[in-house]
Amino acid sequence: MTGDTTTTDGRDAVCEAILAGRTSLGIELGSTRIKACLVGEDPGVVLAVGAHEWENRFVDRVWTYPLDAVREGLRAAYADLVADVRERYGVQPETFGAIGVSAMMHGYLAFDEGDDLLVPFRTWRNTTTGPASAALTELFGVNIPLRWSIAHLYQAVLDEESHVPQVRFLTTLAGYVHWQLTGRKAIGIGDASGMFPIDAATKDYNADLVARFDDLVAESAPSLRLAELLPEVLVAGEPAGRLTAEGAALLDPSGVLRPGVLLCPPEGDAGTGMVATDSVAPRTGNVSAGTSVFAMVVLEKPLERVHHELDLVTTPAGDPVAMVHCNNGASELAAWAEMFGRFAVLAGVPVASDAVFETLFREALAGEADAGGLLAYNHLAGEPIAGLAEGRPLFVRTPDSRLTLGNAMRAQLYGVFGTLSLGMRVLEDEGVSLERMFAHGGLFRTAGVAQRFLAGALDAPVAVGETASEGGAWGIAVLAAYASSGAAASGVDLGTYLGERVFGDAVFDTVHPDPADVAGFAAYLDRYRAGLAVEAAAVHVL
C-alpha cells in the first residue's frame, strides 16, 4: 500500500501529519537490507520508505556484523527515508508519534558491566552450538534450536570461553538497537521467545527453566544469574521507553530529529512478519522468504511432542506459535540471477536486476512440475533441520534429467522451500491445520510465481498482500502505531486492531494449490530427502 498523494488536498494533509508527528516509523535490520518505513494516521498506508544494503561477514568461522556497521546502517536507512519524504512531500520529519525497531532474531550479543561488547556479534546463522542445544533441550523438555541466545550462552560456558564470567547483559540485535535509542534494556515477547522459553501464563521467561539453567551452571559459571542478564519482556501495545537525545543523534546526526518519541517493544523479524500478514490468530500462518526462510503457525493447542524441526515461540502479543526456521533462503537463487545478469551485460543487452529475476521466474513456470529431475540445494550455511552443520550449495542432476532453463529455475525456487517443507510435514503429523498461509518478502515481488510454487509445496492456499515486499519494516511500523494509539490500554487486542484498523480494506491475492504442482513438488521433495546424503558428503569432503 502506498499513500495517495495525487491531489493537492491529500498531499497537504500528509505534509501536516508528518510535520505534526502523527506518523509511525518502523526500522528493520534484515540480513541484507536495513529498511525504514513511514506510515500515516492510517497505519495501512505507507507514506515513504528508505533502505541501506549491508551484508554479514564470516570472520574466524563466525557469521557476524560489526556494531559500527549497525550504527552506520541505521543512519543511512533513516537518511534515505528522509530523502524520500522530502521528494514526495517537500518536508522533513522532526518527530513521530512512535518508532519501532525490528531485526533478525536470536544470536548472541553479550556485554560486560561497562556495557562493552565482549565478543563479536554471533548471528542466528551460526550453527556451532550443537552440544549446548542438545543438552538444554533434554534439560528443559523444550526444543532449544542452535541459533537461540541461550544455546550460544551455554555453548560459551561449555567451551570455557574467557569472557563468560564478565557477561552482565545479553540481548538480540533489535534489543541492542532499542537500548541505544532509549537507554532501556527491554525486548518484545516475540523476540524474547527466541532467546529463552516463555511461560504463556506469565508472558515472561519461564521461571522454572531459568532456575534449572542457573543450577546447571552453578559450578562452571557461578557469576551467571540468568534473570539478571536477560532484557525485560514487554508485549505489543506496551510503552517501551522514549527516544533519548543520544538516540536521536544516532538516527539523525543533523540534529533535526527531536528526542522524546515513544518507542514500542522491539521485535524480531518473525513477529513483524506475522503482523505484516495479519497472521496473529490461531489457524493462521505466514512464510517469510529472504536470506532465511521461516514459517510461523499460530497454535490452537500445545504440540504433543518435542520436535527438533519446530521452535515454540510467540506472537508479539504472547500467543504460542510453532516456527519452522531455515537458515538458508534466497541467497543462492540470487547468486544464479546475478550470473545470468552478468551474461546479459557481456552479450550487450544489460538487464536491470528486478527484470532478471522476473524473466527467470517466468521461465520457471515453463519448467516441468517436478523440475525435470533436477535438484538444487541452497545451503550456504548449516541447516539444522536437514542435519547439516555447514553448508555447500549444490546443483545436482542425473544423466536422464532434463536440463532446461525452465527446469533449472524451477529447481532453484523449489530448493528455497525444500527444507521448509520438511519442517511443515512435521506440523502436519501433529494434526495442525491451516486455513491460509500468508507470504511476504522480496521473493514474492514477481506476482504469481514463488507464491504458486509455495502453494504447491505446502498444499495450501497462499495469500500475498500489496505490502509483501515491504515486509517487516512495515510490520514494526504498525506495531509502533498500535502502541501510540492507546488501543491496548483500552482493551483492544492486537488481532482486533489489525483486523479493524489495518487490514479492513486490504486486498490479498490468493493462489490455491495446483494439483500438478503438489504432485510435482512431492516428487521433488522425495529426491531432495534422498539427496541430503550427497549434501552431507559434500560438507565432509569439500
The answer to whether position 310 is within a domain reads no
The total number of structural domains that make up the chain: 1
Helical axes 515-541 vs 405-429, angle rounded to 10°: 90
pLDDT of residue 65: 96
List pLDDT tens digits, range 174-187.
999 999 999 999 99
The answer to whether position 217 is within a domain reads yes
Distance CA 424, CA 432 (A): 10
The answer to whether position 455 is within a domain reads no
Residue 5, pLDDT above cutoff 50:
no
The answer to whether position 431 is within a domain reads no
* Element (DSSP H or E) covering residue 515: helix 515-541
The answer to whether position 82 is within a domain reads no
List pLDDT tens digits, range 381-404.
889 899 898 999 999 999 999 999
Asked if residues 49 and 81 have their Cβ atoms less than 8 Å apart, the reply is yes
Distance CA 61, CA 150 (A): 20
Q: What is the pTM of this model?
A: 0.84
CB neighbourhood size of 58 (10 A):
12
Q: How many CA atoms lie within 13 A of 147 on its CB side?
A: 31
429-434: average pLDDT: 84
List pLDDT tens digits, range 277-329.
888 988 889 898 888 898 999 998 888 899 989 999 999 999 999 989 898 99
pLDDT of residue 238: 97
pLDDT of residue 469: 52
The answer to whether position 221 is within a domain reads yes
* Element (DSSP H or E) covering residue 84: helix 67-89
The answer to whether position 114 is within a domain reads yes
Distance CA 155, CA 53 (A): 31
The answer to whether position 129 is within a domain reads yes
Residue in 240, 137, 136, 132 with CA at minimum distance from that of residue 183: 240
Q: Which domain holds residue 146?
A: 106-171+196-229
pLDDT of residue 146: 93
448: left (phi over 0), alpha (psi -120 to 50) or beta: left
> What CATH number has the domain bearing residue 223?
3.30.420.40
